[in-house]
A and B are shown apart, each in its own frame.
Chain A
Amino acid sequence: MAAPADVIPRRPTLLLVVVLSLLFVLMSFSSRTRYVGETRTLFERTVMTILSPVPRAVHWLGSGASDMYHGYIDMRRAVAENYQLHHQLADLTADNLKLRQSDADLRRLRSLLAYSDQIDLETSMAQVIMLDTSSSFKSVIIDRGSASGVEINDTIVNSSGLIGRVVLTTKDLAKVQLMTDSNCSVGALIERTRRQGVVRGDAATGAQMYDVPSLADVQPGDQVLTAGIDGIFPKGIPIGTVVQAQRGQDLFKRITVRPAVDFGNIEEVIVIHTRKIPPEIVRYAP
């Protein structure tokens, strides 16, 4: 395995000694320049300048690749986050809708309860389950019937005012004739002047008030309340507001009343179990 002695170089060994000596001098010089504040020798700077494109290119490529990689990772993360946020948004929107619904229900029920407390008569709550305001006979059906104590001619109101009266009951349901029905008449009075009359439903305008003399003081904006003289509706329930009061062709005014209740969005109602006048008294004639 040993090589012949003549191939072992001698001069390179001498060269090694020379090179190492020169390097040692260079190192000594370099280490000394560090103490006087100069960190790099001219030779060192020259080598750096010649080779600087390599680290610069590496840095450029490395940072480019790093940016691309991080950009890609960030994009993937953003896509996943976006997907997750979309789901979250859908869930939150559904929750928000539920909460809004609950909030609206709560406010409506609170106002209804507060209104119900103001009425001296016995009351119960009911939910409207069917609404028909389009046909000539305007009615709603509520989810309380005779089993809940609902009787014919019980008054139906909500927090805004008068809705109508019960015209038919079953065990669990009741049909309510709305005050806007043309067959419904309500004894009414003008709140400001206490002038009495009769409010009837009107398909075109909502309601008309009759039997008010031409000379009576009725102005648009006057509040119309139940008068409590018809034996069905208790006194003082808001019916609506006068929107037009004109002198009629006969002795009475033509008064148009806008109902206080928006019949398009009735949900919960209060059933007022009114005191019924016995038929004998109604029929009795001295």
Chain B
Amino acid sequence: MRWLRFIIGLLIALTLHSLLDSFYPNALAFFNPYAILVVYYSMGGNVLGAIIAGVAAGFVQDAFSNTIFGLHAFSLTICAYAVAYINSRLVLRGTLAFGACLGGAVIVNELVIYILVNILLKQRIEMFEQQLLVKTIFTTLFGMAIYQLMLLFLREEPIEATQRQAGW
């Protein structure tokens, strides 16, 4: 069931990606729907599942972004792992906790991409600091709003705090 929700979430993220790409091409520079999905999933604390979710979401984002293939998969996998690892050790609940995780994940994601682009393409991302700040704020606020809506309307515990058992 959780994987089904992840797949639906991935399709929604891709739809959002395509919509923004079609009508507001610059919007994706300030907003990352895949990060919201991966963090939401990773907050369950299942590290293995988080890694798979990060790779899958990253590949989808890579396929429809004009970047090096695997770049977002790499960065999102690290984010997913970090969030899942933290959640496997600490019980983080509530919208604020989700927002904190998401904000941190976005920052880590952007920093990893920045470093990889520097290493692999020998290029610098222009206006990186401003972009990082805006992307973190927008993605975090949007993600928190979605999380809150899901808490209100789905009436389901999004963080499966009890399912801590991770592993193969």
Q: Which residues of A contact B (CB under 8 A)?
A: 1-3, 7-9, 11-13, 15-16, 19-20, 23-24, 26-28, 30-31, 34, 40-41, 43-44, 47-48, 51, 54-55, 58-59, 62-63, 66
Q: Report Cα–Cα, A278/B111, bound state, in Å.
A: 123
Looking at the assembled complex, report how far the CB atom of A100 sits from the nearest CB atom of chain B, in whole angstroms. 53
Chain B: number of interface residues, binned into ranges: 35 or more
Can you list 14 contacts pairing A with B, beta carbon distance less than 8 Å?
A3-B91, A8-B85, A9-B88, A13-B47, A16-B77, A23-B55, A24-B70, A26-B70, A27-B68, A44-B63, A44-B69, A54-B11, A55-B17, A62-B19
**Interface: B160 (CB within 8 A):** no
Which chain A residues border B59 with CB–CB below 8 Å? 47
Q: A62 and B11: CB pair below 8 A?
A: no
Q: A9 and B15: CB pair below 8 A?
A: no
**Interface: B107 (CB within 8 A):** no
Q: Report Cα–Cα, A27/B71, bound state, in Å.
A: 6
- Chain B interface mostly: helix
Q: Report the 6 A-B pairs with minimum CB-CB distance, sorted nearest first.
A: A55-B18, A58-B18, A26-B70, A12-B47, A27-B70, A30-B69
Q: B90 and A1: CB pair below 8 A?
A: yes
Contacting A at CB under 8 A, from B114-150, are 116, 120-121
**Interface: B48 (CB within 8 A):** yes
Q: Indicate which residue in B14, B73, B166 contacts A9 across the interface (CB closer than 8 Å).
A: B166
The closest CB in chain B to the CB of A15 belongs to B51
The closest CB in chain A to the CB of B167 belongs to A9
The closest CB in chain A to the CB of B89 belongs to A3
**Interface: B78 (CB within 8 A):** yes
> Contact string, B58-98, partner A, CB cutoff 8 A, digits 1/0?
11101110001111011001100100010011110000000
Q: B64 and A31: CB pair below 8 A?
A: no
Which chain B residues border A66 with CB–CB below 8 Å? 23
Q: Indicate which residue in B15, B18, B77, B164 contacts A20 across the interface (CB closer than 8 Å).
A: B77
Q: Report Cα–Cα, A174/B133, bound state, in Å.
A: 96
